[in-house]
Structure formats: structure tokens, C-alpha cells
Amino acid sequence: MTQKNCYILGIESSCDDTAAAVINNGEILSNVVATQAIHEQYGGVVPELASRAHQQNIVPVVHQALRTANIDKNQLSAIAFTRGPGLMGSLLVGTSFSKSLAMGLGIPLIDVNHMQAHILAHFIKAEEQTAPNFPFLAMTISGGHTQIVKVTDYFEMEIIGQTIDDAVGEAFDKSAKILGLPYPGGPLVDKYAQQGNPKAFKFPKPKVNPLDFSFSGLKTSVLYFVEKEVAKNSDFIAENIEDICASLQFTIVDYLMDKLKNAVKKTGIKEIAIGGGVSANSGIRTALKEAETKYGWTTHIPKFEFCTDNAAMIAIVGELKFKDGSFAESDVVASARMKF
Ligand code: KG4
Ligand code: ZN
């Protein structure tokens, strides 16, 4: 089979987004995501509800992905799916569906590691993004993950730093909740931050190993700070929301940049690629751009639709593995704690 007529369907269901995408020769022909609104009222993802919503969404999402790509399921060359890491109930839906469909169509099945996929999303051919050169440092920052990975080849990756508690997206979302903002609060903190003074208030940067992250103390310090101020002035949050958000965002971005600087120092690698939902943040984007001139780094941020959880990133990994003939066995199982 030539690359030209190789169509791979990617399926992602590791957390609360049910997604399907079709890739052909590095180009994404469709990228469909059904985001589950049900979790908003609980202020976070409820695993059992996520699993049920995946069951409802997966067939229509896959249909839509095939329709948008303008291909028939019989034209598919392989099916790539997220095997892990993630929520077991959610992973099971995508895994079982993918296994059945591949078996029914008589085509290969390809298992994908969700964290590798966040990184390899940089290799999707798209106008707004550039592929990093090996070796590079990948920082994945989202509601579920915070890690720095040294990438020497497509599938040669080593985690050199990670969070020891909350993910950075949780730090945004949990702090936002304390400020009375709806879930997920990260984008709203970013919005208010752009109007505020980042030096108005000071929040402590958690101290851990130079390459690791910790965020649970930050939300506690936001909580104590807000409680103390609200006791003095009940309108404190409303009157200072921009400055609070700007100061919080400044602390988080500075902390992420500190860790990247430590990683560059340790490895000597100045090629930086970020991914995950938090890479939408205007503060981190500005800081990375500044680092290009300040420290001589080359930085890469994927198109936003390939940053958040999506199936296009699963499809690109599927394509890379398909070229190598690296297929899953038919008895492959979901793995909630899958390692690289
Ligand atoms: O990658 P993602 O869609 O899902 C996973 O968690 O895997 O990331 C969602 C996270 C949420 O915590 C959300 O608040 C955060 O990304 N986020 C942001 C921004 N946009 C999304 N955080 C800060 N600033 C933003 N602009
Ligand atoms: Zn993710």
C-alpha cells in the first residue's frame, strides 16, 4: 500500500472527550471531538459519567469523522486507539469499540500511548505548526498531566520531570473555583489576567526537585489569601479579580519557565515543544516567544485543536506505527497507568 491511499482512523477516549479523526499521509482529514458538558455541574470529571457518555458518543463521533473525511469505513487501513494512561472506564469504551471495528473490517489495530500522542501531535502536517527537530524537550501541560520529556526519536522518550501532585490545569481550575469562576476556570483566569497587574499579589512557588512540579500548595495559598482578604472586605474578589488572576498566572507561568530552564541546563537541548490544554495560555505563549530571543531557544506550540485531548494526535501516532508495522495483538487490553 502506498502512503497516498493509507487512511487511519484514530480514536481517543481516555478522559472526558470522545474523539475520532482520520489521517492520510500526515494530513488530518477530520478531527471530531464531543466534549462532555455533564461534568461542569460537578466542577471536575466524574469517571462513571464519563464512561457512560463515551458509550453514547462514540458511534456518532466516528461516523462524523468518516463523513467529514469523505471516506467509507472500508477504505480504512488501520485503527489506532488510546490504550492508556487515563480513566479505566473511559479507556475501555474506546478500546472495545476499536477492537471490534478492526476485527469486523479485518484491518490492523494499533495501540497508542496518550502521553506520547500529545508529543507526536507536533508531527501532524498543518500550516500553523512546525515539527521540532530531534532531540527536543516536550512539556505537556493540561488538566491531567504536567511533565517534561526528553525526546530523542519518535518512540524514544524519557520523562525527566513531572508533577508530584496536581496537574497545572488543576492549579488553574481549582484556584478559579476558589474565586467563584465556573469549571474549567483556566481560560477565564487567562482572560482576566490579561487586564490585571501580575505583580499586585505574591503567591509562593512550591519547592521540589529542579525538574519536578508541585501545585497542591499553590491552591491552598490562594484559598488562605482569599479567605483572609474577604474577611476584611467582602467585595475583595469582585474588586480585584483581574489582579488576582494576573498574579496567579504570573506565578504559574514563571514556575513552568523555571522548570524548562532547568531542563535545558541539564540536557543542553534548546529545542522546546509544548502541548496540552494549558498551552493555550497567553502567558506561557508570550514567555516562550521571549525565550527564543532571550535564551536562543526554538519553540513549538501545536495548533490549539491538537493541544487539547483529540484523536488527530492518536491518528498521527497510528500512522507512524503503521509504517513500522507495529501493530497491537488482538488480546490487547486498556491500561490506566500505561508507561512510555
Ligand atoms: O488538554 P486538556 O483539554 O484536557 C486534559 O486535561 O487532558 O486541558 C484542559 C485544561 C483545563 O485544566 C483548562 O482549564 C486548561 O487546560 N486551559 C487553560 C487555558 N485553556 C485551557 N489554562 C490556562 N489558560 C488557558 N488559556
Ligand atoms: Zn491529555
Enumerate the domain spans of the chain. Answer: 7-122+307-324, 130-301
CB of 332 closer than 8 Å to CB of 83: yes
Q: Is 116 exposed, middle or buried (0-12, 13-18, 19+ CB in 10 A)?
A: buried
For 259-264, what is the mean pLDDT? 98
Q: What is the DSSP letter of 39?
A: G
- Any known ligand binding at 142? yes
Q: What is the pTM of this model?
A: 0.95
For 297-307, what is the mean pLDDT? 96
Q: Has residue 255 got a pLDDT over 70?
A: yes
Rg over alpha carbons for the chain, rounded to the nearest Å, is: 21
Of residues 130, 150, 127, 146, the one with CA closest to residue 138: 150
Of all ligands present, the nearest one to the C-alpha of 16 is 1
Identical fold for domains 7-122+307-324 and 130-301, yes or no, is: yes
> What fold is seen in the domain 7-122+307-324?
Nucleotidyltransferase; domain 5 (3.30.420)
CB of 315 closer than 8 Å to CB of 10: yes
- 275 touches ligand 1 (CB under 6 Å): no
> What fold is seen in the domain 130-301?
Nucleotidyltransferase; domain 5 (3.30.420)
CB of 165 closer than 8 Å to CB of 138: no
Ligand 1 pocket test: pick from 285, 308, 309, 310 the residue with the most ligand atoms within 8 Å of its Cβ: 308
- 169 touches ligand 1 (CB under 6 Å): yes
pLDDT digits (tens, 9 = 90+) for 1-46: 666 789 999 999 999 999 999 999 999 999 999 988 888 888 788 8
The predicted structure's pLDDT at residue 1? 62
